[in-house]
A and B are shown apart, each in its own frame.
Chain A
Amino acid sequence: MERRELLKLIAVTTGTAMVGMPALAYDQVPPVPLKDTPFSKEDVSFINDVAEVILPKTDTPGAKDANVGATIAVIAADCYTDAQRAHFKAGLNDIDTRAKAQFGKPFLLLDSDSKTTLLSELDREANAYNKKVGLWDVATDKPSDRKPDSDKPLPHAFSLVKQMSLYTFFTSEVGATKVLRYVAVPGYYNGELDYKKGDRAWAT
């Protein structure tokens, strides 16, 4: 039985999903191992490769350094509705299909220019598609929320991939502390800090 199915069953029978854990005040959502998601190691590598094109390593770390693929798999497994998850997976497959049709080889084997060409085109298509179906406010900073019974059109699948990449990258430790700036305990507030172009933004 899949972990998610098991948790659902426990939730129905006991009203709690926290099996064998003490009743903590702030409930601890346990880490989710990859085997409890419908994604494989290969899927994670693929997602990391796609995300690296969206957020490449420059003089600061990129999406692969943050291993966004692993977190994306968990969020897509547990937070997405079934329709979103299917759409997201189809979107990943579509990237590979396009790579083969356009360049004659799988996405993972493309050189970085071809990857960028392919995904830039897909990004333009996604923006145009979203507008065409009346989705003018598809977030780029967070995976879209959706009701399981919604009959609204889904955003273009690449939009889901992009949302996931941006969100998991900038909320990762690498993204927040090595690409952006983060101070765990600021200690005071200064509302007119001097800023010069090139200084990084705060993670939050």
Chain B
Amino acid sequence: MASNNYDAIVVGSGISGGWAAKELTEKGLKVLMLERGKNIEHIKDYDNAHKEAWDYPHRDMPTQLMKEQYPVLKRDYPLNESTFGMWANEKDNPYVEDKRFDWYRGYHVGGRSLLWGRQSYRLNKDDFEANGREGVGVDWPIRYEDVEPWYDYVERFAGISGNRDGLDVLPDGQFQPAIQLNCVEKDVAARVQKAFKGSRHIISGRTSNMTQPKPEQGRANCQYRNKCWLGCPYGGYFSTQSSTLPMAMKTGNLTLRPFSIVKEILYDKDRKRATGVEIIDAETNETYVFNAKIVFVNASAFNSAWLLMNSATDVWEGGLGSSSGELGHNVMDHHFRVGASAEVEGYDDKYYYGRRPSGFYVPRFRNWGGDKRDYLRGFGYQGSASRQGWRRDIAELGIGADLKDAISEPGHWQIGMTAFGEMLPHHDNRIYLNKQVTDKWGLPVLAMDVEIRENEMRMRKDMKQDAVDMFEAAGLKNVHGFEADYAPGMGIHEMGTARMGRDPKSSVLNKHNQVWDAPNVYVTDGACMTSASCVNPSLTYMALTARAAHHAVEELKRGNL
């Protein structure tokens, strides 16, 4: 324990960091996993997991004091009593918004794996080819076939439920049985299928909420409580705590050190290799050096870029990986908050039981299979149908027993869906170090200079209108399209700040996620993404991490690192 020497260091403990730790320890490496925030132990520390709405003093509403403390978080839904404390302290960890950027950070063991949306989709073949074909950004250095076996591998372990729908646009995987659509969703799906002659599909969402237990991991299947964000005491969904961390711990090869802010990667410019990292203990402010043969950077897309920017600055002013001129550039998110809602007639004799943690998914259909639009790429929808409950307004009933009785029974069925659109990599969408502003530990902070552009704006028109068209074609009533404000970051899918590529002059990472200028440094979180696709990205980070870990260990054996 006293030793500061390890085979590998993993920076970050979220979805990709957890995978890196699991893979590397299982292959026999002694691994140190560094997490900047506090520890959270599986089950034991899920303090709210068994609370009900009435157990919260403010019934889960944010107080004015919480809003003062979290000026960014309060812009959207994540600020509430039930997940309070699970988002980075904004006073200790400031950042600069040249343009508005909503950055939702989980600084604790498990990171956002405890708070993620759990939707799990594969990129398709074209997602890996479109950049090259269309001359957008740079070409991915890998193809779907390179990642396919790793998707298989991580899906089997993580436990992804979904149907094998047989669609090229959304490749099938190694799924557990899907969480079912309800009767109204099935009916609307059939009507949409017919109206659009099979070109648009409403399918069961594919999610890391399991429908079958994994006793070998100590995990039960989903209990349909829909309280995932409180940490699941059943291990019903994939998180670092429920899945990868116990496996890594079981090997006896893992050391986990919370409260460890990695300040820089130490770089030997003669050998062109990293030698380890320097950290600040977040509680004592003391610095420590840890040495390793391999460093995996999994600090989340922006913080991974931040770490590279702060490393090897004696060699490159802009930091490790900046020789490409692309470090911190090409920021992507998924733009959303646009879609439609409608009323579904009938089915008064049907209801449902259980609270699903997922819903339906509409795979991309724009610029696909012969369709051609005035913008590139496309979008998918996520949505669900349900019966109205007590929250509905019945103005004509005013107040009293009639009102109470009416809203104590379910109302009519309604359906809604929100589009998630692909954002193109653009060199000018960037983050960079602002050294005038420092955090609690005196470290420079990130400045955000990101906006959605012409391609996304055009796409958003379709994102709204297509949703309206689908519901109208399905014969639904009171169809309303909506478009709410979207600011970059709200998708909580930051990507692209250290992209993979084929050429060290235009990319930060090679085809194995190695930093071109330091092959024993691997970056496998959202930073590595060369394009964003329109599907939720976490499953791809898992697959790329497992693939990179395999490569790292092989290279180590070959003496190449």
Q: Pick from B61, B85, B186: contact of A143, CB below 8 A.
A: B61
- Complex Cα distance, B40 from A80, in Å, reads 32
Q: A29-B58, A173-B52 are in contact. Are A17 and B65 (CB under 8 A)?
A: yes
Instruction: Report the minimal beta-carbon distance from A4 to chain B, rounded to whole angstroms.
Output: 7
- Complex Cα distance, B50 from A171, in Å, reads 15
Nearest chain A residue, comparing its CB with the CB of B91:
A15
- Which residues of A are found within 8 Å of B45, using beta-carbon distances? 24-26
Q: Pick from B46, B63, B230: contact of A79, CB below 8 A.
A: B63
Interface residues of A in 151-181 (CB under 8 A from B): 162, 166-168, 170-173, 176, 179-180
- Which residues of B are found within 8 Å of A32, using beta-carbon distances? 57-58
Interface assignment of A20: CB less than 8 Å from any CB of chain B: no
Question: Dominant SS at the B interface?
Answer: loop
Q: A24-B85, A141-B393, A193-B351 are in contact. Are A74 and B65 (CB under 8 A)?
A: no
- Which residues of B are found within 8 Å of A15, using beta-carbon distances? 89, 91-92
Interface assignment of A123: CB less than 8 Å from any CB of chain B: yes
Interface residues of A in 128-148 (CB under 8 A from B): 139-143, 148
Q: A191-B352, A193-B350 are in contact. Are A26 and B82 (CB under 8 A)?
A: yes
- Which residues of B are found within 8 Å of A173, using beta-carbon distances? 52, 54
Asked if B52 and A184 make an inter-chain contact with CB atoms under 8 angstroms apart, the answer reads yes
Instruction: Report the minimal beta-carbon distance from A118 to chain B, rounded to whole angstroms.
Output: 10
Interface assignment of B225: CB less than 8 Å from any CB of chain A: yes
Q: Pick from B56, B185, B403: contact of A29, CB below 8 A.
A: B56
Nearest chain B residue, comparing its CB with the CB of A14:
B91
- Which residues of A are found within 8 Å of B349, using beta-carbon distances? 194-196
Asked if A195 and B348 make an inter-chain contact with CB atoms under 8 angstroms apart, the answer reads yes
Q: Pick from A81, A139, A180: contact of B408, CB below 8 A.
A: A180
- Which residues of B are found within 8 Å of A143, using beta-carbon distances? 61
Asked if B224 and A188 make an inter-chain contact with CB atoms under 8 angstroms apart, the answer reads yes
Q: A176-B54, A195-B348 are in contact. Are A200 and B408 (CB under 8 A)?
A: yes
Asked if B225 and A26 make an inter-chain contact with CB atoms under 8 angstroms apart, the answer reads no
Interface assignment of A199: CB less than 8 Å from any CB of chain B: yes
Interface residues of B in 78-113 (CB under 8 A from A): 81-86, 89, 91-92, 108
- Complex Cα distance, B16 from A147, in Å, reads 37
- Which residues of A are found within 8 Å of B401, using beta-carbon distances? 56, 58
Asked if B225 and A201 make an inter-chain contact with CB atoms under 8 angstroms apart, the answer reads no
Interface assignment of A11: CB less than 8 Å from any CB of chain B: yes
Interface residues of A in 107-122 (CB under 8 A from B): 116, 119-120
Instruction: Report the minimal beta-carbon distance from A124 to chain B, rounded to whole angstroms.
Output: 7
- Which residues of B are found within 8 Å of A25, using beta-carbon distances? 38, 40, 45-47, 85-86, 108, 231
Interface membership of chain A positions 71-113, coded 1 if the CB is closer than 8 angstroms to chain B and 0 otherwise: 1001100111100000000000000000000000000000000
Q: Which of B175-183, B305-313, B322-330 contacts A (4 or more CB under 8 A)?
A: B175-183
- Complex Cα distance, B81 from A171, in Å, reads 14
Interface assignment of A150: CB less than 8 Å from any CB of chain B: no
Instruction: Report the minimal beta-carbon distance from B214 to chain A, rounded to whole angstroms.
Output: 17
- Which residues of B are found within 8 Å of A11, using beta-carbon distances? 65, 68-69
- Which residues of A are found within 8 Å of B390, using beta-carbon distances? 141, 166, 170, 180, 201, 203
Report which residue of A16, A78, A176 has the largest number of chain B beta carbons within 10 angstroms of its beta carbon. A78
- Complex Cα distance, B61 from A120, in Å, reads 28
Q: A8-B65, A184-B52, A191-B183 are in contact. Are A199 and B58 (CB under 8 A)?
A: no
- Complex Cα distance, B91 from A81, in Å, reads 22
Interface membership of chain B positions 39-70, coded 1 if the CB is closer than 8 angstroms to chain A and 0 otherwise: 01000011110101110111111111100110
Interface assignment of B372: CB less than 8 Å from any CB of chain A: no
Interface assignment of A19: CB less than 8 Å from any CB of chain B: no
Asked if A26 and B231 make an inter-chain contact with CB atoms under 8 angstroms apart, the answer reads yes
Starting from the known contacts A25-B38, A79-B61, A186-B354, 17 additional A-B residue pairs (CB-CB under 8 Å) come to A26-B46, A32-B57, A58-B404, A79-B64, A120-B398, A123-B399, A143-B61, A162-B399, A182-B52, A191-B182, A191-B352, A193-B350, A194-B349, A195-B410, A196-B349, A200-B409, A201-B390
CB-based closest 7 A-B pairs: A27-B85, A191-B182, A141-B391, A189-B354, A186-B354, A195-B351, A192-B183
Chain A positions near chain B (C-beta within 8 angstroms): 4, 7-8, 11, 15-17, 23-32, 53-56, 58, 60, 62, 71, 74-75, 78-81, 116, 119-120, 123-124, 127, 139-143, 148, 162, 166-168, 170-173, 176, 179-180, 182-204
